[in-house]
Amino acid sequence: MKKSIITALLFAGFATAGFSQERNIQRVDRNDKRMESPEQQSRLATDRMDKQLSLSENQKTQIYNLNLDRAKKMNKAHEKAEKQRMEQHKKMQAEHASSDRKINSVLSPAQQSKYASLKKERADKFKGRKGNHNNRNKNRTSRNASPKNRPESDHKL
């Protein structure tokens, strides 16, 4: 009896591990497709539709052209969005630098030093958290908590 339960649990564990690995492989393939040219994207989409819908040659040509037009427009939109994102990032960096200069003009030299170290500490904390979105809020208290109840680190710049 115990052996059959252990065997069933092992089988379930291996099956779960196998399914999770297969899903990761599919994600990698999906990410690779995003890097392809509009022509390749259109060809893949048209071939997939042909397999599913049994298209005629005339339909394939028309659908390929429609897919190509859509892929080119989408790529252009993605490039435009990326350019806007980079411009916004530069504006934000300039605003941060300007704000820091103004703050430093108000602070004493000792406070400026402390301010710089607090900024560095916060930047290091952010960099450590940057790639770990799943654990982002594990050690944080509720956003609605009063400042008195928040940890000391949340009061830092």
Task: State the pLDDT at residue 128.
Answer: 79
Mean pLDDT to the nearest integer, 26-47: 74
Q: How far is CA 53 from CA 27, 42, 60, 81, in A?
A: 25, 16, 10, 34
Of 35-44, 55-64, 92-101, minimum mean pLDDT range: 35-44
Every domain of the chain and the residues it spans = 37-106, 109-139
Question: What is d(CA 41, CA 63) in angstroms, rounded to the nearest whole number?
Answer: 12
pLDDT surpasses 60 at 74: yes
pLDDT surpasses 90 at 95: yes
Mean pLDDT to the nearest integer, 105-109: 95
